[in-house]
Amino acid sequence: MKEISQADGIEDFADNDYIYVDKTEYIYKLVKKYKRVFFSRPRRFGKTLTLNIIGTLYEEGVEPYFKGTWIYDKWTFGQFPVLRLNFQNYRAQSVSEFKELCSKAIIGFANEQELNGLVTSTEPDVAVLELLNALKHKKQRIVILIDEYDYQMTANINNRELYEEFRLCIRNFYSNLKSNKQIKFMAVTGVTRLKDVSIFSAGSDIKDLTYESAFSQMIGFTREEIKRFYRDYLKLGVCYEQNKQIKPEDVTEKQVEEFLDRMAYHYDGYCFDELCKDKVFSTWSVNNFLQALSNNHEVIFGDYWYDVGGVPSILANYLEKHTLDVAVLQQEEILISYNDFKNPTSLTSINQSVLMCQTGYLTLRSSLAPGRFNIRLGIANRETESALSALLSLKIFDKTQDLLDQNDQNILEYCDASQLISILNEQLASVVYDKYPIKDESTLRSVLQLYLQGSRVDVRAESHNAHGSADLILNFKRRRIVLELKFSQDGRNAQSLLNQALKQIDENDYGRESLGGRELLRIAAVFSAAKDERKITLWQEVAETK
């Protein structure tokens, strides 16, 4: 089998010793239809690789790298010099150093085009204008590819003065690129889409393809692409799940589809389609998962997207001065206004849920039809749910208690009710209360759910059966735990609240649906918000009748 490339962070298309998922049909349609494009995606989604494919086509043509791909006998757009600028490679804490490095890259490119001495400015906007004017005299055209256009601004989300300096610098730079005939094609990528940079201002000639339906699957893997290009790995995964009791050649199509279903639960569900129809898998997560499967000879659905770099720098900076709304972020669907989603003006005032969507923690759950007043967002998959919980945990808890024992088994899978309450109380005691006070039953449920999700427990809040909904249900292979929670402001009515919780569990028979042969542990618990308590002060296990 060929090796998997992106798991190692390889972003250079010219390195062709790896599996390549053929996206060249999208590239062809993109270049044929548009002259200036922008698209944003979260980190580790393949933005840089996509730009490098475009750059390689324009610089080298289809030989030798594109043999066997869709575009091989269709590329008719010629060859042009390519100016590549990756703003992540330039300084983010000094505008003068950013200008110097960016201008140096433009001057170096100009010299490669034998325009020595014609581009000299250390101001990027002036340098690029000098370059384009020099090219005009030579009647030469170029391609411009700009990666991570917003890096300097996302790095300074909490420094308004520096943010504004970078914004003006970058705005002036893009202003000199508009409608210039020396630019054969231009593509720009980033994490965010902001109105306060002239690239998107009125009169801009750049097409924003971030949620364009026709290109929504250009970046990211579709289910069919995984099945086509990674079939050998999928069969290997089925074999490892079966403890090698079958050979890869004996794996059936049904088994492959079922294995893909399990992958989809963890890594699919990202939507960049304005019609909210087409979805994609995370390329980084799929590649790492399949590479780990091959290397370790077992199937482990890890959290690869979050583990590679923790909290994205833009969010890390944002969280220094902002408090996340935990209750909102844990909703099944989050409603925000159409205008907030489509037209975020500045990172300094961006809607929190829009920022979470742009950085990959949330995804689109409704169409972007112009007549809508509100847009729905939600969590894409199990991996992002776990990543979001880990992110929120960093802010809400002073510390988090590890639920794995020395054998890597979850303690909650075998502990008794008393130990369970003790573990939960220890975690509740570590809540940063001045910023995230537990003020009602909903907040209590959200905080506990957050902790358990961050510990990779399969937990569901307000899980419904035919009679009602339990507050929290924890599912393990051998056990199910039901928690019915009550909130007391001062603790004085704890016993009556406990009785209510016990009655709800009994009358609604929480937890028995699809139980199978698992053990069922059901607990009623009362949390007291009294200042000297702030813990579960009263609880009772519901005895199971034979």
Amino acid 526: pLDDT: 97
Residue 140: is its pLDDT beyond 70? Answer: yes
pLDDT confidence bin for 17, thresholds 50/70/90: low
Q: Which residue has the higher pLDDT, 421 or 171?
A: 421
Model confidence at 226: pLDDT above 90: yes
Q: Which two tokens stand for residue 192?
A: 């965010």
pLDDT for residue 374 is more than 60: yes
Angle of the 283-296 helix axis to the 231-241 helix axis, nearest 10? 50
Give 289-312 as a 3 state SS string. Answer: HHHHHHHHCCCCCCCHHHHCCCCC
Q: Does residue 359 carry a pLDDT above 60? A: yes
Backbone angles phi, psi at 121, to 5 degrees: -70, 145
Task: Write down the pLDDT at residue 8.
Answer: 42
pLDDT tier at 9, thresholds 50, 70, 90: very low
Token pair, residue 385, equals 């749910």
Tell me the pLDDT band of 6, cut-offs 50, 70 and 90.
very low
pLDDT tens-place string over residues 505-546: 999 999 988 888 899 999 999 999 999 999 999 999 998 764
Q: In angstroms, rounded to a whole number, what is the distance separating the alpha carbons of residues 376 and 337?
A: 9
Q: Which of 448, 469, 433 is nearest to 536 (CA)?
A: 448
Q: State the pLDDT at residue 425.
A: 96
Residue 7's pLDDT is 42
Across 39-51, average pLDDT: 90
For residue range 174-204, list pLDDT tens digits in order.
Answer: 889 988 899 999 999 998 877 656 565 545 6
**Confidence (pLDDT) at 202:** 47
Average model confidence (pLDDT) across the chain: 89
Phi, psi dihedrals of residue 229, rounded to the nearest 5°: -90, -20
Tell me the backbone φ, ψ of residue 466, rounded to 5 degrees. -65, -20
pLDDT of residue 314: 76
Write down the domain spans for the chain. Answer: 6-210, 223-300, 313-382, 397-541
Q: What is the CATH number of domain 6-210?
A: 3.40.50.300
How confident is the model at residue 537, as a pLDDT? 97
Work out the percent of the chain whose per-residue pLDDT is above 90. Answer: 62
Measured distance CA(462)–CA(445) in Å, rounded: 9
Q: Is 351 helix (H, G, I), strand (E, B) or coil?
A: coil
**Residue 5: what pLDDT?**
54
- pTM, entire model: 0.84
Q: Express each pLDDT in 275-301 by its tens digit.
A: 999 999 999 999 999 999 999 999 989
Q: What Cα–Cα distance (Å) separates residue 247 from each residue in 117, 236, 255?
A: 65, 8, 12
**If one looks up domain 397-541 in CATH, what number appears?**
3.40.1350
Report which of 356, 362, 387, 381 is spatially closest to residue 456, judged by C-alpha positions: 387
Mean pLDDT value across residues 333-349: 85
CB distance 256 to 227 below 8 Å: yes
pLDDT of residue 188: 95
Strand partners, 142: 183
**Strand-strand pairing, 479-488 and 469-475:** antiparallel
User: Residue 14: pLDDT above 70?
Assistant: no
Look-up of token digits 């091989």: 72
- Contacts within 8 Å (CB) and 24+ apart, 166-172: 166/92, 166/95, 166/98, 167/196, 167/197, 167/346, 169/95, 169/98, 169/99, 169/124, 169/125, 170/197, 171/196, 171/197, 171/198, 171/199, 172/125, 172/198
CA–CA separation, 142 and 481 (whole Å): 63
What integer is the mean pLDDT of 70-93?
95
